[in-house]
Structure 1
Amino acid sequence: MTVQYMPGFGNDFETESLPGALPQGQNSPQQPAYGLYAEQLSGSPFTAPRGTNERSWLYRIRPSVKHTGRFKAISFEEWKSAPNVNDHQLALGQLRWDPTPIPNRETDFLAGVRTMTTAGDVQGQAGMAAHIYAFNISMVDEYFFNADGELMLVPQEGGVRLKTEMGIIEIEPGEIAVMPRGMIFQVELMDGPARGYMCENYGAKFTLPDRGPIGANCLANPRDFKTPVAWYEEKEKPCRLFVKWCGQFHVTEIGHSPLDVVAWHGNYAPYKYDLSTFSPVGAILFDHPDPSIFTVLTAPSGEEGTANIDFVIFPPRWMVAEHTFRPPWYHRNIMSEFMGLIKGQYDAKEEGFLPGGASLHNMMLPHGPDAFGFEKASHGELKPVKLEETMAFMFETRFPQHLTRYAAETDTLQENYIDCWKDLKKRFNGTPEGDWS
């Protein structure tokens, strides 16, 4: 089947896979067409202000109460939730990891999730978790929804097909997808084994950041976010539905597919975004601007200007600033930064930070370009340069990110990462010119 998309972000839209399945003029007719059931899926409190009120009406073969039976507890040992503290002996520090290997044994998406960090409190609906996924088989007759938060998938290797209650979304490296809290979905491989990153957002949902003085254009534009058209699966055979709720996993046996929504309308839906459509802005004379100008999506906290999570990317772009140290400056800040590399090189660390790898710089821990990057940026000719074939990103949060035991003990942890700064030398010699030899 050819998957189609329609644009929308924060808009109310409608789609049907059978003609006349979507009622007009009312949401819950006495007898919906095709013998369907009307059901509302709410992503916000009923009384939320109109601008933040999110809900969709689903017209489905069975109501979702028929998609659950008796639950039993189940465990996915490497998928952790906050608070998850003091389960390893690794001391505080700046950290970096090599890419997580693709599993040798058969592993589906749920079994392939490895939590790297957790922050905040899943039961308090604040904070996040940063995961890496790596799997080599599709989910078959198995489905999942996460009651703890929305999930952002960031593929790094291999495409994935997300079959959801509201349609099908396909994403490849260079794209992202967001599954709303409570959305039932299934993950299939598109072209071989897959690896990538995933942000689990416990707090307020992702939205577009305010542009402020930037104005009406640039950064991520609403028209580039795509939601799926209606699609349904009428499958009558034993299936299993997995649920994550308050950090625990449960499974129930059902006799059919839960992806049975024939039509829907509303503004609570999964979506995808092509990172190449992000329009970066930057300094066109001197100095290096804050990385906040590269924010694609933000999950706000209760404090204005302080995000529960920012999703930030560092895409291909021109560097033109004069009399300027162009890479990110050395800094300490209150935000905690989990970073990944989708492809190419990151300009501040061209060595050691590999596609599929990750780094963590927690709140108030200093970080910045390695010694090689510093030397290159300090002595290079400041002519216009285009950074190409690169894509890095950050999951940045106001909360400290606590390592999991897996992240602290995995073989991919680079024990010598701190050495990337050891060759930064003292250049102060009491003269205005310093020692730049």
Structure 2
Amino acid sequence: WYMRGFGNEFSSEDPRCPGSLPEGQNSPQVCPYGLYAEQLSGSAFTCPRPANKRSWLYRILPSVKHKPFTLVPCGDLTENWDEVEPDPNQMRWLPFTVPKSTDKKVDFVAVSLAFPLYITFTELTTHLRLKTQNILVLSCFRCFNNSDGDFLIVPQQGEILVTTEFGKMMVEPNEICVIQQGMRFSVDVFGETRGYILEVYGAHFELPDLGPIGANGLANPRDFLYPVAWYEDRKVPTGYTVINKYQGKLFACQQDFSPFNVVAWHGNYAPYKYNLKNFMVINCVAFDHADPSIFTVLTAKSTKPGVAVADFVIFPPRWGVADHTFRPPYYHRNCMSEFMGLIEGHYEAKEEGFLPGGASLHSIMTPHGPDADCFEKNCTAELQPERVAEETMAFMFESSFSMAVTKWGLQTCQKLDKTYHQCWEPLRSHFNPNWKPSKK
């Protein structure tokens, strides 16, 4: 069960409790069914109305009822930026290993936060999320709450069931979900599961401005799905653990009831999911290669117009029809950091080495582009209309901030492809000082 839309005002109540959503006011003296009214704010109270984010939750017990928070181990989650030296080189990782079911049991919190791949200095974090088939977070009576920022989750292998205070979402590869700051959630997986997480601070994801594209194109608001209210009225005498990520560290508190006890809610601040196959591609139909910004699904804007804290960009199947053009991505250096992942298929500019479940990082002003084979093939290809990226879905986390690679990403995971730079070594000079234009 989902509601469609993006960023608008929504309301939902669990069908088991009709009339649980108060009418006419947010916080009546006594709420229907004896519920507690609780507001979750995702923006300052005084933000302009279009930017104001908040939702009202009507729950069996308020979230304030818990034991004190205590510090818990963060694993390899690091705040020590001097642990490894900065490295501006092009980097690529082979597909990350999924722990076997016989390994020590871990859950979403233990794995995704113990093994961050990149962390920016201020406002962005990228994690690789690995799971085993024996993880059932709900059965472990644990949930997660991120006080620092928003999570954008990109499953690459296996489906996940995300239970939130607002309801449940089943998310599969080629779908994404966003869990915004302060929302409590847990994750169930089914079989071996792997994926990526982007975390942003100081901004929420929104749809990019369309500008000259007009009213239609890219991601359509109606294709975003919000969960319908679902409550769990359950006492947990042994203690339900709430993990809180706060200022980069993890804290835990105990309570004796399920945090997923919201019977009804309304507002414009809620988790949501989106199917990437619904993205309406805009592309070149004459000549030249367009910038990747035309493939932006979601953006987290900075205070500087036109500059993002982070963009989520995809490269879905589409038609290539540009004439007199080198169609793959051109060689370039960029004032943005570009982290790329592959959900399925073969990326057009790196058909070898860049594999589903792996990743690459091209840092600020580090040159990159097609490998030598791709360049040679596409310089001589007969340019006919053709399908590009068929059965492929690559994506990019792009940020105006520099990314620092953790010790785990450089050493511990042992997946860093140290031969990556060799894909450009065969590039040769085609310079001919006697060249003359053909007479046509």
| TM-score, shorter chain, exceeding 0.5 | yes
AA of the residue aligned to 1:264:
W
Listed one character per residue, the Cα deviations across residues 243-271 of structure 1 (whole Å, up to 9, x for unaligned) are 00000100111111111100000000000
Q: State the alpha-carbon separation in 1 of the partners of residues 142 and 436 from structure 2.
A: 66
Contact map agreement 1:153 1:196 (CA 8 A) in 2: yes
Q: Within the alignment, does 1:157 sit opposite 2:153 as a pair?
A: no
Contact map agreement 1:90 1:408 (CA 8 A) in 2: no
Q: Give the ranges of 4+ consecutive aligned residues of structure 1 lying more than 4 Å apart after TM superposition.
A: none
Aligned match of 1:72: 70
How big is the shift at 1:109? 1.2
Map 1:138-287 → 2, pairs under 5 A: 138-139=136-137, 140-189=140-189, 191-237=190-236, 238-287=239-288
Contact map agreement 1:109 1:138 (CA 8 A) in 2: no
Contact map agreement 2:217 2:280 (CA 8 A) in 1: yes
Q: State the alpha-carbon separation in 1 of the partners of residues 265 and 86 from structure 2.
A: 49
Q: Secondary structure at the match of 2:277?
A: helix
Listed one character per residue, the Cα deviations across residues 36-63 of structure 1 (whole Å, up to 9, x for unaligned) are 0011100000000000001001100001
Q: Within the alignment, does 1:131 sit opposite 2:130 as a pair?
A: no
AA of the residue aligned to 1:75:
P
Aligned match of 1:46: 45
Listed one character per residue, the Cα deviations across residues 395-419 of structure 1 (whole Å, up to 9, x for unaligned) are 1000111101111112100000000
AA of the residue aligned to 1:352:
G
1:86 to 82, 85, 101: 82
Task: Report the count of equivalent residues.
Answer: 422
Listed one character per residue, the Cα deviations across residues 136-190 of structure 1 (whole Å, up to 9, x for unaligned) are 112121011000000000000000010000000110000000001000001101x
Contact map agreement 2:346 2:355 (CA 8 A) in 1: yes
Aligned match of 1:343: 344
Aligned match of 2:295: 294
Q: How well do the aligned residues superpose, as a CA RMSD in angstroms?
A: 1.2
TM-score, length-scaled by structure 2: 0.94
Q: Within the alignment, does 1:405 sit opposite 2:402 as a pair?
A: no
Map 1:91-102 → 2, pairs under 5 A: 91-102=87-98
AA of the residue aligned to 2:182:
G
The 1:246–1:90 alpha-carbon spacing in structure 2 relative to 1, beyond 3 Å, is: closer
Aligned match of 2:424: 421
Q: Within the alignment, does 1:10 sit opposite 2:12 as a pair?
A: no
AA of the residue aligned to 2:72:
I
Q: State the alpha-carbon separation in 2 of the partners of residues 51 and 23 from structure 1.
A: 24
Q: State the alpha-carbon separation in 1 of the partners of residues 353 and 306 from structure 2.
A: 33
How big is the shift at 1:35? 0.8
* Range that drifts further, 240-249 or 379-388: 379-388
Q: Secondary structure at the match of 2:280?
A: coil
Q: State the alpha-carbon separation in 1 of the partners of residues 387 and 77 from structure 2.
A: 39
How big is the shift at 1:120? 3.4
How big is the shift at 1:432? 2.6
What is the percentage of aligned positions where both structures have the same residue?
52
The 1:51–1:151 alpha-carbon spacing in structure 2 relative to 1, beyond 3 Å, is: same
Which runs of 5 or more structure 1 residues have no equivalent in the other structure? 122-126
Contact map agreement 2:175 2:276 (CA 8 A) in 1: yes
The 1:308–1:433 alpha-carbon spacing in structure 2 relative to 1, beyond 3 Å, is: farther
AA of the residue aligned to 1:87:
E
Aligned match of 1:124: none
How big is the shift at 1:429? 2.2
Q: State the alpha-carbon separation in 2 of the partners of residues 384 and 75 from structure 1.
A: 55
Q: State the alpha-carbon separation in 2 of the partners of residues 90 and 260 from structure 1.
A: 45
Aligned match of 2:316: 315
Q: State the alpha-carbon separation in 1 of the partners of residues 323 and 196 from structure 2.
A: 35
Q: State the alpha-carbon separation in 1 of the partners of residues 378 and 77 from structure 2.
A: 40
Q: State the alpha-carbon separation in 2 of the partners of residues 376 and 263 from structure 1.
A: 57
TM-score, length-scaled by structure 1: 0.95
